[in-house]
Structure 1
Amino acid sequence: MSVKWIGWVGILHVLFIVGWIVYNLSHYLIYPAPLLEDGQSLAELGILYYSEHRGLLGFDHGSKSLMMLLSIVLPVGIFYILKRDSAFDLLNMLALVAGVVGFTLYSLSLMLQAVTVEYAFQLFVSNNDASAQAFATLIYDWTMLQGGFSVSIYILANLSLATWLLIHSKKIARDFKMKVFGVFGMTVGFLHIGGYSVSWFFLMQGSQVMHEVNEVVGVLWLVWLAWVSLYIINGKINRSEIN
C-alpha cells in the first residue's frame, strides 16, 4: 500500500498555513490597523478593527481548525509506516496518541476562537449599548489576547505535538539513516517543550508571554513537517525500508 498520500497531506498543511500567513500580511498592508490612542487598550483597538473586517479571524481560524483535523492522518500514517518494528510498538503508540491528541486540541482551540470572536464582533456592531459593547470587548480580550481559548489550549496541543515529533524524529533518523533530519527534529521538539512550558508557567499567573518566540518555533515545526512529508512522497521513508 502506497503511503505517499500521507506526505501530500503534510504538504497541503504547510501550504495552507503559509497561504493564510501571506493573505493576512497582505490584508494588514492594505488595511492597516490604526495606532493606539491615549487611554485605549489593545482589546478596544482590536475589536474596533476586526468589527470592520468581520469574517477575517473567523475564516482564518475556522479553516485552520478543519486543516488540523485533517492533519490527524500524519501521526497515524507515520505510525503505520513504523509499525513493523515490534520493539518500537510502545513508543510508536505513544507518538500516535500524542500526535492525534495534539492536532485534535489544536482544531478544537481554533474553532472555539473562530466562533467566539466572531460572536463578539457581531455583538459589538449590532448593539449600541455600552455595557453590551464592553462585554463583547471582554470576550475578545479573554479569548484571543489573554489566552482563554488560544494559548491555554495551544500549550496542551503543542506539548503533545512535540512529544510526537521527538519520538518519530528519533526513530526515522535511526531507521532511515537521516542524522541531520533527526537532529533538527529533536531540536524543534525540545524548543517546543521549552517555549510552551515557560508559557504555561506565566499563564498560570495570568500573564501571556513567549508568544512571539513560540510563533518562530512554529515556523520551524512547519519546516520539519514539510521535510518529513517530502521524504514520504519521495519514498525515502517507506515501510519496506525499515530495518
Structure 2
Amino acid sequence: MATPDQDLTAVLDQDGVRLTVDDTLATVTLTNAAKRNAQSPALWRTLTEAGRLLPGSVRVVLLRAEGQSFSAGLDRRMFTPEGIPGEPTFTDLARRDAADLDATIAGFQDAFTWWRRTDIVSVAAVQGHAIGAGFQLALACDLRVVADDVQFAMRETALGIVPDLAGTHPLVGLVGYARALEICATGRFVGAEEAVSSGLANLAVPAGDLDATARDLAAALLAAPRDAVTETKALLRGATARTYDEQRAAERAAQGRRFRDLAGLGD
C-alpha cells in the first residue's frame, strides 16, 4: 500500500526517519517498521535535523509511522552492556559529570521539543504500540489522532528510570497530575477509548482510516489564515502560565496585532 508521502521527494531520509514537504504540509514518517520504530540517539538527532530543515512555507507537520506500531520505545540495545555501536551506553552516561550528562539529555530532548513551535501545528497519527519514548514523541505534538488499536504506555519507571524526553509536562497538562502519576508509576496501557475520554487523543478511528483522517485534520488546520492560527496557538499555549487578567491582556494584544495586520497597518 502506498504511503501518503511516497510520491514526494524526501528532504531527509535516514536513521529510520523520512521528512517530505508538500508546500504548507510536512510529513515526518518513522520508517523502521521491522523494529517497531524503536528509538535511538541517531533517530533523535535525525528528528532534530528534520525540525531544522522545515521550510518557512510549512504550517502543519504530520507525524506518522510505518508498520503496526507507532514506536515501541527505546532500542533495547541501549539497556545492554554493549549498547548501540557508536553511541554511549547507560553506564557511559552514568559516569559523566552532572553538566555533561545534563547537556547530553538536553540534546536528546531537542528531538521532542520543536513540534510545539508556535509557527506550526503538529499532528501525530498513532497506531499500535506507543511505549515510553514512543508515547513521549506522540505527546510532543499539538494534536493526536489514534487508531482503535493504539496502546499508550509509559514504562520508564518499571526500568528504574524516569520519562525524560519532554513528555511529563504535556501529559500532566492533558490528563491532570493524579492520572499522569498513575499512568507513569504503573506503566499500564491506555487504549483508544480512554485516550480520547481523558484528553490524550483528539479522536480515534479504525486503523485503516488513520492516515486519511490525520490528513483531513491537517487540511482543516490549513484552511484558516496562518497568522490567526499562530496567534491563537501562542495564546492557548501560554494560558496556564498566566493569570486570568494577564490572559485577557494577552488576548487584547494579539487581537490588536491582527486588526493592524488585516488593515494593512502592521509593522
**TM-score interval, smaller chain:** under 0.3
Larger Rg: 1
Greater share of strand: 2
Higher RCO (C-alpha 8 Å, min separation 6): 1
TM-score, normalised relative to structure 2: 0.26
Greater share of helix: 1
